[in-house]
Each structure stands twice: as C-alpha cells, then as structure tokens.
Chain A
Amino acid sequence: MDTLILGLPVAYYIAMVAKVLVAFVFVLLTVAYATYAERKIIGHMQVRLGPMRTGWHGLLQPIADGVKLFFKEEIIPSQASKFAFLIAPLVALIPAFISFAVIPFGDTVTIGGYTVPLQIAAYYDQAGKQVFDVNVGVLYILAMASLGVYGIVLAGWASNSKYSLLGGLRSAAQMISYELAAGLAIISVFMLSESLSLHKIVADQAGGAWYAFKQPLAFVIFFICSLAEINRTPFDLPEAETELVSGFCTEYSSMKYAMFFMAEYANMITVCAVTTTLFLGGWHGPAFLPGWFWFIAKVYFLIFVCMWVRATYPRYRYDQLMRLGWKVFLPLTLVNVMATGLWVMFISK
C-alpha cells in the first residue's frame, strides 16, 4: 500500500494537484486568448480584419503582447504611495482567479484509480460516494467579487493623479451599487435550489431544467449586473478613455498594467462561469460529449456575448448607470424574490 498522509494515499494528492494545475493553466490560456478573440471578433463586426501579422491570422498575438509588456519600463510616479501602488494589481488579479475554486466545471474523472470531482475545492469521501464541497460556494463567489473592488480603488488612490482617482471612485460606487442587485438575483436561485452549494445547484438543473428558464428575470439582471461589476462596456466608466485617459490604470505601465488587463479578462471568464453554473445548468448537456466540454462551450458562448455587447452598445452616462442600478434593477429583483417566495410557499409545495 502507498504511504498515507492524513489518512489518504499520496497518489490521491497527486491526482488533486494535477486537477488544480490543469484547470488553472486552462484559465490562464483562456485569459490570454480572450484578448485575441475580443480583437478578432470586434474587428470582424466592424468589417476590419483585426490582428493578422503575428502567426497565422494573428494567432501568436497574445504571446507577442505579453513579451512586449514584459520588457517595457516600469514607471512608478514619484508622488505615488509606493506600497499601495505596488500591491493594487495583485489585489485586482488574485480574487479574479481564486473564485474558480468553487465552480464545478465537469462531472467526475478517474485519475490513477481515484474518482476526482471536477471542482477545485471538492473531494470525495473514502468510499467514493458523497462529494464534499464548499457548502457556501455562492457566498464565497460574492465575497471574492466584493474584494476585487479594492484593486481598482487602491490603484486609483495610490497613483496620485486626478484621472486615476476619478476612475477609482466611479468604479467603487458602481461595483457596490450593482453587487446589491446581483446578490438579490442570486437569492431567488437558491430559494429554488434550497442550497448554497454550487455542486447541489448544478445537480438540481440536470436534464435541461435550467434556472434560466425558471428565473428568466433573475438571469438577465444577474448577467447585466455582472457586466457592470467587472467594468465591461457599456458600463466601462472607470476607464472611459474619452474622458479619463485610461481611468484607474492611467499611471501604470509594463507588467502591472498587464496584470490589470488580465484581471479584467479573468473577471469576465469568472462571471461567465458563474452564470453558466447558476443559470445554464453548469456542465450538464447531451451525454454524447463529456460534461467539461459542455461547460467550456457554454462559458465561451457567454464570453462571445460579452464581446458582442461591447461591439453593439455605446457607453452609459454616469447618472443613467446609477438610475439603472438603484431604481430599476433593485426593485425588480426585490419583486422577483417576493414572487419566488410566494411560488415556493403556495404552488410548488
């Protein structure tokens, strides 16, 4: 028999680490190629070609961009608060990535004789029967999303520049306003699933009973609020280039700028993955292809929708943004929660 660590064989840990590494590298690659896809898709939507020169149809463009940013000069403004200025890109990037820990991206796989659930923060009990996962997964994602705002606020404050400060303030106000409506939209989902565990929420949607059909209003509001929370167009006021140069990251250069860029795309992928998990049935799909394939397909479709929205809509004005969040979405989600409560109380039971 193998040596045991905490009552489990070493091979089991190797299988778990392999799972984490594969998932993480895949997310990183998706982040890199999401930038390429965005330029290509928007290019074609505007009847342009997009990047064409590096590699076949510009396929090596993300790598070229990465190398370029890596070798650029690091500039720290002399009046900046050094500590906050250095730490801000990290604070933006890390929450974006660790939200993936609780998202179930597939059914189980067998590695080296051990059944491993395709969700980073989950494991099977010794008998291989029951999955243990973070039983407050939804709240974990909300918590990480609420930490992401620090990166942008700090960057805006530490740069000691008016444009950056305005960008940071806008982003803080925007994220706090839209978090509320997004949270209330999620509440109506777990009123139906009666659980906060993402594993259970996905299991509830097996066989096409997606929450997007049962909760269409919550689905639409959650997706729009998420776009606002991650500062995507049409809600990209924090970095509105026509008025704020580049918003909170005006003073950043080189790899630190690249980290904000990565955080933005990682956030977009996280939001699409969370929407897929909560509303589009997670990894469930027709059985002729494995679960992780359906998960990736749904997430990529949502990423495409984000880019489509960017190519279609003009930017919101600041007062319109606040009115939409507080006077339209918040009351609508409250009514939705009430209606779901009544439905659960009197009709479904």
Chain B
Amino acid sequence: MESIFFLVVAAVAVISSILVVTCKNPINSALSLVMTFFCLATFYVMLDAPFMAATQVIVYAGAIMVLIIFVIMLLNVRVETVKRGTHAVIAGSAIGLFVLFQTIWFLMKGSMTGKVGEMTKEQIVSVGHVELIGKALFTDFLLPFEVTSVLLLAAIVGAVILAKKKI
C-alpha cells in the first residue's frame, strides 16, 4: 500500500522535475517546480516528519516560489527569449551523467540499509516531531541557529539599503 503510494508520488515528482527544465514558458516551469516541492513534502510526511512537510510547503511552495513567479510576471518573460546554447547542453549532460554514475557507484559499493541514528520512528511518534526539532535547535545547534538569524537580518538590512535611494 505505502510503496504503491510512494511510486505514484515519485513518478509525479520525476515528471514534474523534467517539466521544470523542458517547459518553454517560464511560468509553467515555475509551476512544475511547485509541484516538485509538493511531492517532496509528501515524502516528508511518509517519513514521519510532518513538521518538515509543512515548512517545505510554507517556505518553498508558499513564499519563495510566489516571489519567483512575481519576478517572472513583472519582467514579462514570454515564451523563450533566451537562446539555448549547445555548449550549455553538452556541459549539463556531462555533469548529469557524472552524478548519475557516482550515485550508482555508491549504491553498488555501500550498504543499502545505511547507518541507524539515535532517532527511531517510535521515539519521533512518542515525543513529537516538532518538540524534537525545537529541542535540537535550541540546545545542540544553538550557535548555528543564532548565526543564521543574524545572517538573515543582515540580508534584510542589505535589501532595504539597496532598494532605497535615500535613507
């Protein structure tokens, strides 16, 4: 049951991510990317990480992609104004093939089960996913968390300074 569901969602994810790069219209590409993000959120739910799924939808599908679509709409990029160079296609295919080869290599070499961490499924269900993430963020990863927030603040201040002519 669960594996059938996984296969359906995975197929949608793969198809929509192919559409992201093949669509001629930039808005349709952006919409396919939203669909891909949605499929990723579904995977998070299946991995017992509902909080990750919700933030994935809120942050990526809800905020970042809206801004990207906003920019495309304002620039009014209609169907394919950018020419596709053959060099880019060759380089892209080479990198893609290399990554595929590497993935297959590591899958053949390494063990399929992977390392078992300290967070088990039962623990996540009993303590709660949000509680575990919150605790980890404010104890073990406090410094990176604070540094990230300072970085974001700097970015906001920078954006305001860039956008305003006179302060």
> Which A residues are within 8 Å of any B CB, using their own CB?
6, 81, 83-84, 87, 134-136, 139-140, 142-143, 146-147, 149-150, 153-154, 156-158, 165, 168-169, 172, 176, 179, 196
Contact = CB atoms under 8 A, between A and B. Distances in A.
Interface stretch (B53-61, B86-94, B102-110): B53-61
Contacts of B27: 81, 84, 154, 157-158
B54 A139 contact: yes
B142 interface: no
Interface string B54-91: 11011001110011011001100000000000000000
Given A142-B58, A196-B130, 17 more contacts: A81-B28, A84-B28, A134-B50, A135-B50, A136-B53, A136-B129, A139-B50, A143-B62, A147-B62, A150-B66, A153-B73, A154-B31, A156-B73, A172-B66, A172-B69, A172-B70, A179-B62
Interface of B: 1, 25, 27-28, 31, 34, 50-51, 53-55, 57-58, 61-63, 66-67, 69-70, 73-74, 128-130
Contacts of B130: 135-136, 196
Given A140-B54, A165-B73, A168-B73, A135 B25 contact: no
Pairs A-B, 5 closest by C-beta atoms: A146-B62, A139-B54, A143-B57, A136-B50, A157-B73
B54 A136 contact: yes
A84 B73 CA distance: 13
**Interface SS, A side:** helix
Given A165-B73, A196-B130, A142 B63 contact: no
Contacts of A146: 57-58, 61-63, 66
Nearest to A196: B130
B45 to A, nearest CB: 9
Contact of B58 (A83, A143, A157): A143
B3 to A, nearest CB: 14
A6 B66 contact: no
A156 to B, nearest CB: 8
A150 B67 CA distance: 11
Contacts of B31: 84, 87, 150, 154
B61 A139 contact: no
A69 to B, nearest CB: 26
